[in-house]
Amino acid sequence: MIVGIPKETRPFEYRVGLNPAGAEILSQHGRQVYVERDAGVGAGFKDQEYESAGARIVYSGEEIFARADLVLKVARPLRSELDWLKPGAALAGLLHLASARRDKVDMLLEKKITSIAYEQIQLADGSLPLLRPFSQIAGSMTAQVAARLLQNNWGGKGILLGGAPSVPPAEVLILGSGVVATHATQAFLGLGAHVTVMSDDLEGLQRIFDRFPGIVTLISTKRNIERATIYADVVVGAALITGERTPILVTREMVGAMKPRSVVIDVSIDQGGCFETSRPTTHDQPTFVDEGVTHYCVPNMPGVVARTATHAFVNAAMPYLIRMADEGIDAAIADDPALERGVNTYRGGLAHLNLFEER
């Protein structure tokens, strides 16, 4: 098996599919690893580090895709990269195919590509071990993003998250009770904000309430969301339904009723977003104003803390990568139910039909 590590080509994506330590481990397991030149530069990894780890450096993405039996990416591949994939190969990455264009899914099917979505690898308890590190990082980043966007010089209403003596803190509403929501809650509380967490998962709310005594928790209903968004200075969308498009939780009317210059951070945007007014943005132009509210909708938030994100991700991913290297991809999928849940397309067929309903 040849493992290929291309350089990410999406704007402001600095992560890489495998760090030098991971390349060394796969090399020790008898797999040849090819790395595109400068693939790790954004995360602080030099080509020489990969070579010392036993990998070979190649000089074009096209060569990586043409050689590799297994391509390890971070972001969903571009159309050109899908063109380069050799028929019958395997592709692993944060694919988010539920919100992808149908023609890209069709290309995977036509080429009989086995595609594995890291964000859908799921243990028996429902946890998502490979998505977890990125979710932890994105959740932690929401507070620092919100603090900046509330500043006047960023178009905000000019308030400090933690308030000041005699001045109350900012009101933060977090929609969701999973990993992103938990780490967002921790980060906002650390800066002194007043936090309300809303979810339709009672067990999730219980976990957050037990971990952070004193926060407000509410069941996620249309009425509760309407009432909470009116007074919120910051609303964080952290809802997730594994393998499906995120449902719209906050309508345009709700956004329009929010206080002017409030902030919306839609962490769910990579799965379609949970605000009706959301649309994907980029790190160079991360915000837009709709209904008088500042929206931050960057799909790859951890992409700009690439070194931390890559190390954390590879630490979580290595058991699965080693299994695929040792057993072969088909056998690994057959033997590991968690890995099987991450398979989206398999040798020309759809593994999860609900992902690709006509949109």
Considering the domain architecture, whether residues 76 and 28 belong to the same structural domain is answered as: yes
Span 94-117, pLDDT tens digits: 888 776 778 888 899 999 999 999
Query: Which amino acid, one-letter code, is at 81?
Result: E
CA dist 133 and 128 (Å) reads 9
Examine residue 16 and state whether it is found in any structural domain, yes or no: yes
Examine residue 333 and state whether it is found in any structural domain, yes or no: yes
Examine residue 257 and state whether it is found in any structural domain, yes or no: yes
Examine residue 191 and state whether it is found in any structural domain, yes or no: yes
Considering the domain architecture, whether residues 76 and 194 belong to the same structural domain is answered as: no
Considering the domain architecture, whether residues 265 and 292 belong to the same structural domain is answered as: yes
Span 306-356, pLDDT tens digits: 999 999 999 999 999 999 999 999 999 999 999 999 999 998 888 764 554
pTM for this predicted structure:
0.86
What's the CATH number where 22 sits? 3.40.50.720
pLDDT value of position 101 = 77
Considering the domain architecture, whether residues 275 and 316 belong to the same structural domain is answered as: no
pLDDT band at residue 153 under the 50/70/90 scheme: very high
Of 146, 143, 131, 189, residue with least CA distance to 338: 131
Examine residue 323 and state whether it is found in any structural domain, yes or no: yes
pLDDT value of position 352 = 63
Q: What residues are annotated to the active site?
A: 96, 270
pLDDT value of position 358 = 44
pLDDT value of position 99 = 66
Map tokens 């780490």 to a residue: 183
Span 266-319, pLDDT tens digits: 999 988 899 999 999 999 999 999 999 999 999 989 999 999 999 999 999 999
**Which two three-digit tokens encode residue 78?**
């571009």
Examine residue 9 and state whether it is found in any structural domain, yes or no: yes
Considering the domain architecture, whether residues 143 and 116 belong to the same structural domain is answered as: no
Considering the domain architecture, whether residues 207 and 291 belong to the same structural domain is answered as: yes
Map tokens 């971990």 to a residue: 211
Map tokens 């650390």 to a residue: 190
Considering the domain architecture, whether residues 166 and 230 belong to the same structural domain is answered as: yes
Of 4, 159, 28, residue with least CA distance to 89: 4
Examine residue 127 and state whether it is found in any structural domain, yes or no: no
Of 46, 93, 14, residue with least CA distance to 302: 14
The strands making up 263-266's β-sheet, listed across from edge to edge, are 216-219, 194-199, 171-175, 234-237, 263-266, 293-296, 287-290
Q: Which domain holds residue 323?
A: 2-121+306-356
End-to-end CA distance of the chain: 36
Q: What is the mean pLDDT of the chain?
A: 93
Considering the domain architecture, whether residues 140 and 253 belong to the same structural domain is answered as: yes
Considering the domain architecture, whether residues 325 and 254 belong to the same structural domain is answered as: no
Q: How far is CA 267 from the centre of its chain?
A: 8
Map tokens 């995360």 to a residue: 43
Considering the domain architecture, whether residues 140 and 252 belong to the same structural domain is answered as: yes
Q: E-assigned strands of 176-317?
A: 194-199, 216-219, 234-237, 263-266, 287-290, 293-296
CA dist 33 and 39 (Å) reads 13
Span 35-52, pLDDT tens digits: 999 999 999 999 999 999
Map tokens 């590879």 to a residue: 314
Considering the domain architecture, whether residues 227 and 271 belong to the same structural domain is answered as: yes
Domain boundary among 284, 303, 322: 303
Map tokens 């390349």 to a residue: 23
pLDDT band at residue 359 under the 50/70/90 scheme: very low
Of 99, 100, 55, residue with least CA distance to 81: 100
Number of structural domains found in the chain: 2
Examine residue 126 and state whether it is found in any structural domain, yes or no: no
**Residues constituting the chain:** 359
Considering the domain architecture, whether residues 105 and 221 belong to the same structural domain is answered as: no
Span 65-81, pLDDT tens digits: 999 999 999 988 998 99
